[in-house]
Every structure is written in structure tokens, then in C-alpha cells.
Chain A
Amino acid sequence: VSAGIGAPERLQRYAAAGFKRIAAFALLFVGWELGVRLSGISQIVLPAPSDIWLSFVQSQETILANTWITLQEIVLGFLAGGLFGSLVAIGIFYVPYLRRSLYPLLVGLHTVPKIAFAPLIVLWFGSGIESKLFLTLLLVFFPVLVNVFSGLKETEESKVMLARSYDVSEWFTFWKVRLPSALPLVFSGLKLGVVFASIGAIVAEFVSASEGVGALLINLTQYGRTAEAIAAVAVVVLMTLVLYGIVAYVERRVLFWRLAT
């Protein structure tokens, strides 16, 4: 409703900052291109941006097909891990026994770098998509669990009391009081989860896979195809930024009342 008094100035400042950034990156790429061309450095060591673009156009199909497989692993693993983590967090929150027994056990497991489980998971589930899904699920599970649990726990007690004074069901209190106040922390858990999901899928592909962008990267670098490898890394960077952007967008739509900050 209110455009804000300083809006034009702010817009101007944003535009100026954006322009400076674009200029800086353009300068970086021009310097890179010229540096490679003038120094005559081998393409295997450091290809110029134009070489990278050309080899991306050339091997587009391979790179995108493999990224598509990884994307599926990330999304499915993220959804499964997020759902599972939330459910366990709710269970732990409502069952005092689990809160005292299972929760410290899981927090203890959380300090173990989950990446170390990758070879074991490959041993159990094979080199197919199952092992990637499982490692991704495992990596997403913990941050979501911890954040959902703390979100539920840190609900203001006075709000819960208010709901109780109206003699509503626990179900109603959960949906209308606890969950909304837990949501900011739930979303920080989900944002961490989406970052971890891509790590999980790619590390599992490093350990053992015939397809997916992790396997492709190992393959390309072993044959000294640096330009294509850098192109594949750039695609992964773009993909993860988009995935994170989607979660951040959903957060902004769901938590519209926190827009003020």
C-alpha cells in the first residue's frame, strides 16, 4: 500500500550496486579470456570462458541429461528427508519419553559427518538411484528434525495457554498456534536441507555411479576434459541456486507476515 518515501533513492542505489557488480563480473571474464589467450596456457589446465561455453554447447545433451538425474535425486531425497524429519520431530515433541531417549541419541548422531555413511549406503542399496536417495534423505533429515523440534518447543507458552483457555483440541493448538510460530525455524531447516540435499546426491555419485552429474564430473576430469567439467560445475551451481530460490520463495509466500523485516 505504502510506496515508502525513500523508494526512488533506494531503487537507484540498488541499480547502481547491480551495475557495479555486473561490471566487476564482466571485467573478471574479459580478464580471464585475455589472460588465457595471451599466456597460451593449456586448455586442459584452464580453458577460457569462450572455450567453456563452446564445449557446453557441444556436450549440452550429456551434461543436461546427467544433471536431470541428479536433480531428481535431490528433489525426491529432499522431500522424503523433510517429511520424515518433520514427522519424527513432531513425535519427539509430543512423547516425553522419546524426547529424553531418542532425541539425545539423534543429536549425538548429528555430530557424525553423515557423508562418511556414503560407502556403507552404496554397499546396502547398490549403485542405482536408491543409494543416492537414501544419503540425500539422511543429510536432509537431521537439520529439518532439529529445526522443527526447536520451532515447536520455542512456541510462546502464553499463546498455548490462550488456546487452552478456549478448550480447543491439541490438534487445533498444533495447527493454529504451534505450527505457525514454528514456521520460521522450519524454513531455516528446509533451506539448510536443500543445501545438504545437493551435497548428498553428488557425493553418493562420486562414490559409485554410472550416471548423474557427480559421476560425469569424475569421468570428464579423468580424461582431462576440463572445459566440459567446468561447464558441468556451472550447471550444478545454477541448479542449486534455483532450488534454493524456490524454497526461499515458498518461505516468503507462507511467512508473508514476516515480510516487514
Chain B
Amino acid sequence: VSEQPATATRPATPLIEQTRRYIADHRGVVDLLSLLVPLLLLWQFGTRALGISAIVLPTPLAILESVYANQGVLFEATLKTSQYVLLGFATGSVFGLVVGAAIAYSETLEEFLNPVLVVTFITPKIVLAPLLVLWFTAGPLYYTLMPFLFTFFPMIENTAQGVRGIDQQMKDLTRLFQANRWVRFRHVTAPHILPYVMAGLKIGTLQAISGVIVAEFVAPEQGLGFMLILGQQFARTELTFAAIFLVAVIGVGFYKAVELTERRVVFWETKAGDGL
């Protein structure tokens, strides 16, 4: 009888030990949650106690409720915005790829385009938005042009860098083997520039989203940018938060999609987590 408590506590010790080991192994997740959960709880339950009104800071649940209540409008806006992100991103990448390759192969072209590239990198391309509205009116062309501009220029830069960096020895080797154009492209050029192109695409996704959102700020007629402005003008803060949340979802979605493609396409590059 006196043995019982001992046998009862014995299985408990490994359990505690296991938990402790689990926490030690997942220190990062545990620490992250230890900050995130209290913050969310404070946001949910503390704002009213602190006298912060719902117009200034709606609670997380109120924001989710707003997403649910306005799902039709928000879904349509998300669709519109992502459609133009995709359109501008795709066209901008393709054009950027072509121009970038052309720059890398032609020295005269590089000489003339380089200052343009430097200026477009440094100066905010968004200042063009009002002029583009004036020229093309707030239609599909305008909403595509903005993300196009934001993807086009980083893509040129990255592609040109990739092509320029091709190893001369590799080029000599293909010449030695009298490889044809296709073999040269497939086995030397493509593998070398792909990592640069994928990096350009990753920068491009986030830029393209900013491009569409700013386009929608300047001509607020559609999409999540319009929802954001609407929320601000009518002081419907929970709607603004809901739209920000959806912008974040689109952003992470596009970024992860490109990242997954990158891992598939340039599987030989093992750059673990490059920050952004």
C-alpha cells in the first residue's frame, strides 16, 4: 500500500522532464508566444479598461468580426487588388528580364540605361501616380502600370547582374565542346542567372503590392486601397484594420508562393532565410 504513491509519481517525472525538454527544444516558439499571447490578450481585453475607444483601436475580435460581416465586399476588393498585383508583376518581370538581358549583352545600351536605373532606384516611383491617372484615367491600364513599374526596374537590375556574373571559364568550356545555343543556355546561362531572377521576383512581389495599393489610394475606386481609404474617411477603424490584414495575407501569400517556386527552381542554392 505504501508503494502506491511512489509508483503513481514515477510516470509523472518523465512527463515533467519531457515538457521541460520540449520547452528547451522549442525555445524560440515558446518565447515568441510568451510575448505575442499577452500582447493579443492586452489588446483584446485591456483597451477598453485603458479608456481607448473602439474608433482608435478596435479589438482583434472586432476586426475579425468586421472581416466576417463585410466578407462579400472585402472578398471582391481582395480579388481586384490581387488581380492587378499579378498582372503588373507578371508583365513587369517578363519585360524586366528581357531588358536586363539586353543590357548585359549590349554595352551601349547599358551606358545609356544605367543612369536611368540609378535614378529610378533612388527616386520614389510613386510620384508618377497622379500623372498616370491624368494620362490613362483610373482604369485597368493605370492599375496595372503601377505594379508594373515597381517590378520592372528591380528585375532589370537583377537579371543584368546575373548575366554579367557568368564565369568566363564556363563560357570557354562550352565553346571548347562546341555546344550549341540551347545547350549553352540550358547548362550555363540559365542555372547562373536563375538565382538572381528569383531574388528579383521576391523583391518584385512586395513592391507590386505596394504599387497597386498606392494606385488605389490616388484613385480610390476599387480594391483594398479603396477599402482602406473608406475606413479612414468614415472612421470605420475596424474596416481599415480588416483591409490591412487582407493586404498582409496577399503579401505573405505571394511572397511564399515565389519562395516555394524558388526552392523548386533553384534547389541547389541553400540560402537559409535571407531576412525579409
Contacts and interface: CB of A to CB of B under 8 A. Distances in A.
Interface string B27-38: 110011011100
Given A206-B129, A206-B214, A236-B124, A111 B229 contact: no
A106 to B, nearest CB: 11
A257 interface: no
A105 B111 CA distance: 43
A237 to B, nearest CB: 5
B98 interface: no
A207 B210 CA distance: 14
A218 B218 contact: yes
Interface stretch (A17-25, A55-63, A158-166): A17-25
B228 A116 contact: yes
B247 A101 contact: no
Interface residues of B, number: 51
A97 B129 contact: no
Interface stretch (A2-10, A78-86, A172-180, A223-231): A223-231
Contacts of A198: 123-124
Interface stretch (B5-13, B14-22, B173-181, B237-245): B237-245
Contact of B28 (A104, A199, A221): A104
B102 interface: no
A246 to B, nearest CB: 12
Contact of B206 (A113, A214, A240): A113
A94 B229 CA distance: 40
B206 A101 contact: no
B252 to A, nearest CB: 6
A221 B244 contact: no
A107 B255 CA distance: 13
Interface in A83-129: 97, 100-102, 104-105, 107, 110-113, 115-120, 122-124
Interface in A172-221: 195, 198-199, 202-203, 206-208, 213-214, 217-218, 220-221
A111 B275 CA distance: 10
B228 A21 contact: no
Interface in B183-233: 206, 209-210, 213-214, 217-218, 224-225, 228-229, 231-232
B124 A207 contact: no
Interface in B91-114: 111-112
A202 B34 contact: no
A241 B112 CA distance: 18
- In this complex, the member of B124, B131, B224, B229 whose beta carbon has the largest number of chain A beta carbons within 10 angstroms is B124
A45 B135 CA distance: 6
Contacts of A20: 111-112
A113 B35 contact: no
Q: How large is the interface on A (under 10, 10 to 19, 20 to 34, 35 or more residues)?
A: 35 or more
A240 B206 CA distance: 22
B31 A101 contact: yes
B248 interface: yes
Nearest to A146: B275
Contacts of B121: 195
A174 B47 CA distance: 39
Contacts of B34: 101
B247 A107 contact: no
Contact of B123 (A101, A123, A240): A240
A36 interface: no
B217 A217 contact: no
- DSSP majority for the A interface? helix
A217 B111 contact: no
B61 interface: no
B122 interface: yes
A155 to B, nearest CB: 17
B126 interface: yes
Given A116-B244, A119-B228, A122-B232, A237 B119 contact: yes
B130 A119 contact: no
Given A119-B240, A218-B130, A240-B122, A146 B276 contact: yes
A203 B35 contact: no
Contact of B248 (A107, A112, A224): A112
Given A113-B247, A113-B251, A101 B119 contact: no
A53 interface: no
28 contacts: A24-B112, A101-B36, A102-B35, A105-B32, A105-B36, A111-B206, A112-B247, A113-B247, A116-B225, A119-B232, A120-B231, A120-B241, A123-B231, A123-B235, A123-B240, A146-B275, A202-B124, A202-B127, A206-B126, A206-B129, A206-B217, A207-B217, A207-B229, A208-B232, A214-B127, A217-B127, A217-B130, A240-B124
Interface of B: 27-28, 31-32, 34-36, 56, 111-112, 115, 119, 121-124, 126-131, 133-135, 206, 209-210, 213-214, 217-218, 224-225, 228-229, 231-232, 235, 237, 240-241, 243-244, 247-248, 251-252, 255, 275-276
